[in-house]
Amino acid sequence: MALGLSQEEIVEIPLAELQGVFNELIETYNLLNDLLKDQGILRGRELAELNTRATQSLKAEKWPMSKINLLNAFIRQQISHIKKALQARPPAKATNEGRISQAITKIQLRALAIIEHINVMAEGKKEVAFNSSQARQFLAGREGKPPSRRDAIRALWRVGKICPALVCDHTPNDGRGTMRLIANVDDLNDSEFIKLDMERDRRQRSKMDEAMVIFGFKEPRPEHY
């Protein structure tokens, strides 16, 4: 989109206005940075390296317009990471109650499915147990093929973090070191993990929707106005 000026015109822009534009870009960068972290798109060393490169490059650049163009380039990198993550994101799946569950990662999606399955298994019981072999068989029924043993164990560990009532540990007296989840059904029924997880997913989807609207990935909904 053109600015409406001819190529021959010279525009004087006060430094304060350039600083304002730069500050707005920093806010945008920070918003996208939080989004990358919260959504698990970039974490740990990879995210730290991106921020370090941006900080060092901006400090080394002296000319104001060059700083603005450089920061804009790093913002484009962030958007590129988000776009790739959106394209790779698994589709939402409906539960038995018809509720749509949108997981941030494949492990998260598997963990939530396992929790719902264990809740069904627990009906009428005092204790419930679910090992990695059962997890692979259950996930094979959902995905068409069983995940690796390592990925099944990772999903069980994630279950334990989402729902502390389900304890992930080695099966006693098992020479193979089989991992399992075990819980007292009363403790499981008292757990509020579903409500907490749904609220967290709602907040994260809201952040993602906001960024997608800002950068033209989707049409805004009424609540964005």
Among candidate residues 62, 88, 114, the one where a domain is terminated = 88
Among candidate residues 59, 88, 117, the one where a domain is terminated = 88
State pTM to two decimals: 0.42
Residues 137 and 176 in one domain: yes
Question: How many domains in the chain?
Answer: 2
Residues 73 and 106 in one domain: no
Output the average pLDDT for the chain.
76
Residue for token pair 């038995």: 96
Residues 131 and 175 in one domain: yes
Q: What does the DSSP assignment read for 16-67?
A: HHHHHHHHHHHHHHHHHHHHHHHTTSS-HHHHHHHHHHHHHHHHH--SHHHH
Q: Give me the domain span that covers residue 24.
A: 15-88
Residues 155 and 110 in one domain: yes
pLDDT (tens digit per residue) in 165-219: 888 888 887 777 788 998 888 877 766 554 445 455 555 555 555 555 444 444 4
Point out which residues pair with 195 in neighbouring strands.
none
**The pair of three-digit structure tokens given for residue 134, joined into one six-digit string:** 């059962």
| Structure confidence at residue 6 (pLDDT) | 62
| Structure confidence at residue 22 (pLDDT) | 84
- The answer to whether the Cα torsion of 200, 206, 209, 211 is positive or negative is negative
Strand (E) or helix (H) holding 161: helix 149-162
CATH number of 110's domain: 1.10.10
Which residue in 97, 130, 108, 100 sits closest to 39, CA to CA? 108
